[in-house]
Structure 1
Amino acid sequence: MASLKDVAKRANVSLMTVSRALNSPERLRPDTLACVQAAINELNYVPDLSAKKIRGARATPKTIGVLALDTVTTPFSVEIALSIEETARAHGWNSFVVNMFSDDSPEKIVDLLLSHRPGGIIYTTMGLRQVPVPAKLLTLPCVLANCESLHQPVASYIPDDEQGQYEGVKALLKAGYRRPLCLHLPFARLATVRRQKGLTRAGLEAGLSPETWIHCYMQDGDAHYQDIPAMIEAQMPQGKPTFDCVICGNDRIAFLVYQTLLSHGIRIPTDVGVLGYDNMVGIGDLFLPPLSTVQLPHYEIGRLSALHIINGDSHRETVRVASPWLHRASI
């Protein structure tokens, strides 16, 4: 790989002139700048950001560092990471991601992130949760994406799960369904608690009693998706459902609902309507019939979080981002 010295030699200028061409091009005469840029292009030179930092730079201007906790292990990471990157580039910024997994040392990962000297930090998680924010992160502009601070107030952008579930269930009930089977995510999750508030509000507004509906909670861990068919069949004596619709904690649950109902010859939506949640990336439109669901606004969360850093926003509030209801053929 070509070095700074190689560029200086090819352009027949000093190292300082090459440095100015990279960092302060307005300080050079146009002909000198053109000569250096030609040498850079000929040699395919890539600036060494770490070397710039060693020479005393406190931060890499216009760069967002993304601390991603468990995010890259899920398909939704595409939406958040892509949105941050696209928003940053559109405003003349760059971004980079440092991944942190559950068994990593938070202190070491944070130090690794800060060693790149970003101009601001987005801390993002997969699955809405409350997190302790390392004090070192708060030495720079910092915002949380898809999570909330467990202790000190930090600006955060999260899905409006209560409103999203309210809109979906409201549409379900408006379509005439009255006896839901509710297959929730694990009981203690933030998303479960907030979505259940939306579900209850929609039921009460329709003059129904949501506490009398059938409520089943999945246990924590992906292995427990295998429990969903048994939960459904327990409410189907002699293969006949006691419910007329299923409200699913997410689209993965909805996928299992489809398989179970269709295997018993139950038609969707004629016999039983199905409501999902998430609009699972790359899958939501592939259900037959297409699944009515609620969109997790991960792309918008990434965009707003990036703009928070780029615009220098200073508020420390939690912003709930709309989770749109997507009407398809399962209702």
Structure 2
Amino acid sequence: MRYNVVTMTTMKEIAERTGVSVSTVSLVLNDRDAGRVKPEIAQRVRAEAKASGYKPNPLARSLRTSRTRIIGFVSDEIATTPYAGRLILGAQDAARAMGYMLLTVNTNGDRNLEEREIATLRQYGVDGFMYARMYDQHTVVPDSLMKLPTVLLDGIDDSGRVPYIVPDEESIGYDATRHLIEAGCRRIAYIGACDRVYVADLGRRAGYRRALEESGLGYDESLDIGVTFNRPALDAVDDLFDRAEPDGVFCFNDARAWYVYQCAAKRGLEIGRDISVVGVDNHRVFAETLAPLLTTVDLPHYEMGYWGALKLVSMIEGREPKPDMLTRDVGLSPLPPLDESPARIHCTLISKESVARRD
């Protein structure tokens, strides 16, 4: 029986073919050549590595550097939310581009399970952690994560121990309300969450109020309501229509915009002509199926995951990633600088058919 033997190109072979030292090849292939190796030499080494199909040996590299190039991704309930895939995908794409692999665990909000999963990831020798929350909230990062570099995603660390990234909630409310004002709306309602302790609700409501006050319209408490879901929410929006007669509505999320569509239809009002609506989330079910199509603000889950991985690798390696890693088009919203603390992403409003233009 014959076996096909696959031979791996080594740094030594690349060095011999390009006429440089092994240390020079190592600097180039580990992206440490800037300011140390002439650009034309680095280009020649990379071209040879690509032509010869060079692949780094992760085991040898981990023994040499005491790093496994593995990142642990720990979440509470995010794996059960509709946005989890985007957050994890962003982290995975950035980690892969930086030469790292992602190991993901979900704890379902169970602190005991969380500690066991963190211990397991440390046994695998992860170089650092991303700790993700299912929505923007004040968070206590476990002490067990503090022994390694850690970045918090979609949560606020009040202790100042770890860098974190969240959506710019106030700018969401401000931009959505400004969009309605510029469309000619004058009685703009806010349909928020019933429990006003949410960081996102507080921020979006503050942005809503600031936009109204800056425009000279002023804040009207009767147009500001908080609702839950199902029949109680529908009844509350019904009451808002009857007593306040809004011509524009900014909703805490796309799900709450659905109640506005229902109440408008019951009164013979046409969304996008008689009344304008803006939601938040860019939730695929609502944003793509409501008719007319819902104007919404995209929440940057992919971008948060991507930025988090870049930040974590920069902490692990003590160096910044290549400039194009931060400036490349990775989603709808631009990434903040890695040294920004806290990092807040200015979210993008996606204009569709639900906002009327009154000339």
Same fold (TM over 0.5): yes
Measure how far apart 1:288 and its partner are: 0.9
- Tell me the distance in 1 between the aligned counterparts of 2:169 and 2:231: 25
Q: What aligned pairs does 1:2-151 form with structure 2 within 5 A after superposition?
A: 26=11, 59-61=67-69, 63-105=70-112, 106-151=114-159
- Given candidates 284, 289, 306, the residue that maps to 2:309 is 306
Identify which of 184, 191, 216 aligns with 2:200. 191
Equivalent position SS for 2:203: helix
Native 8 Å contact 2:176 2:250 kept in 1: no
3-state DSSP of counterpart to 1:149: coil
Shift of 1:302: 1.0
Match of 2:256 in 1: 253
Give the Å deviation of 1:248.
Answer: 0.7
Q: List runs of 5+ in structure 1 lacking aligned partners.
A: 1-9, 13-17, 30-46
Q: In the alignment, what sits opposite 2:227?
A: 218
Residues 99-154 of structure 1: per-residue CA shift (max 9 Å, x gap)? 12123423223223322221121111111011111122121111111111142431
Distance 1:136 1:316 in 2: 25
Contact (CA 8 Å) 2:58, 2:68: kept in 1 or not? no
* Displacement of 1:11: 8.9
CA contact (8 A) 1:187 1:218 kept: no
| 1:156 and 1:317 in contact (8 A); partners too | yes
- Structure 2 distance, partners of 1:88, 1:282, is 29
TM-score normalised to structure 1 length: 0.78
Conserved 8 A contact 2:292-2:353: yes
Q: TM-score, normalised by structure 2?
A: 0.72
Deviation per CA, 1:5-26, whole angstroms, max 9, x where unpaired? xxxxx799xxxxx9xx99x955
Q: Is the contact between residue 90 and residue 305 of structure 2 (CA under 8 Å) also seen in structure 1?
A: yes
Summarize deviations over 1:48-103 as a string: whole Å, max 9, x none.
Answer: 99xx99x9x96522x22111121111111111111111111122221111112123
CA distance in 1, matches of 2:235, 2:250: 16
- The alpha carbon displacement at 1:235 in A equals 2.5
Give secondary structure in 1 for the equivalent of 2:177: helix
- Structure 1 residues 176 and 28: alpha-carbon distance in aligned structure 2, compared to 1, 3 A threshold: closer
Paired amino acid for 2:91? I
Secondary structure at the aligned position of 1:191 is classed as helix
Counterpart contact for 1:147–1:158, Cα < 8 Å: yes
CA 1:190/1:207 → structure 2, altered by over 3 Å: closer, same or farther?
A: same
Sort the Cα spacing of 1:262 and 1:115 in 2 relative to 1 into closer, same or farther, 3 A: farther
SS in 2 for 1:129: coil
The match for 1:203 among 212, 217, 226 is: 212
Which residue does the alignment assign to 1:293? 296
Q: For each residue in 1:205-234, what CA deviation from the matched residue of structure 2 results, as whole angstroms up to 9, or x when unmatched?
A: 110121444111124xxxx34422101111
Match for 1:171 among 161, 176, 179? 179
The 3 A distance-change label for structure 1 pair 135 and 67 is same
Is the CA contact 2:272–2:353 (under 8 Å) kept in the aligned structure 1? yes
- Shift in Å at residue 197 of structure 1? 1.2
C-alpha deviation, 1:327, in angstroms = 1.2
TM-superposed CA distance for 1:285, in Å, is 2.7
Greater shift after overlay, 178-187 or 209-218? 209-218
**Aligned-partner SS, 1:276:** strand
The one-letter amino acid paired with 2:204 is R
Q: Counterparts of 2:240 and 2:4 in 1: how far apart (Å)?
A: 78
Counterpart CA distance in 2 for 1:25 and 1:11 is 19
Cα deviation code 1:280-299 (max 9, x no counterpart) = 14542322111111111111
**8 A Cα contact 1:125 1:147, kept in partner:** yes
Change (3 A) 1:322 1:227: same
Residue identity in the other structure for 1:190:
V
CA contact (8 A) 1:121 1:137 kept: yes
Q: 1:113 to 1:87 in 2, by over 3 A?
A: same
Letter in 1 for 2:170: E
- Specify every segment of 5 or more residues in structure 2 that has no aligned partner in the other structure, as ranges: 15-56, 321-337
Percent identity over paired residues: 27
Which of 223, 228, 233 aligns to 2:233? It is: 228
Q: CA RMSD in A?
A: 3.1
Amino acid paired to 1:326: I
Distance in 1, Cα, partners of 2:313 & 2:160: 22
Provide closer, same or farther for how the CA distance between residues 307 and 212 of structure 1 changes in structure 2, counting only shifts above 3 A. Answer: same
1:327 aligns with 2:351: yes
Deviation at 1:301, TM superposition (A): 0.9
Query: CA shift at 1:315, angstroms?
Result: 5.4
Q: Note closer, same or farther for the CA distance 1:135–1:25 as it changes in structure 2 (3 Å cut).
A: farther
Indicate the SS of the match to 1:290: coil
Amino acid at match of 2:197: A
CA deviation after TM superposition for structure 1 residue 195, in Å: 0.8
SS at match of 1:229: helix
Question: Does the residue aligned with 1:329 lie in a helix, a strand or coil?
Answer: coil
Aligned residue pair count: 289
Give the C-alpha shift of residue 263 in structure 1.
Answer: 3.4
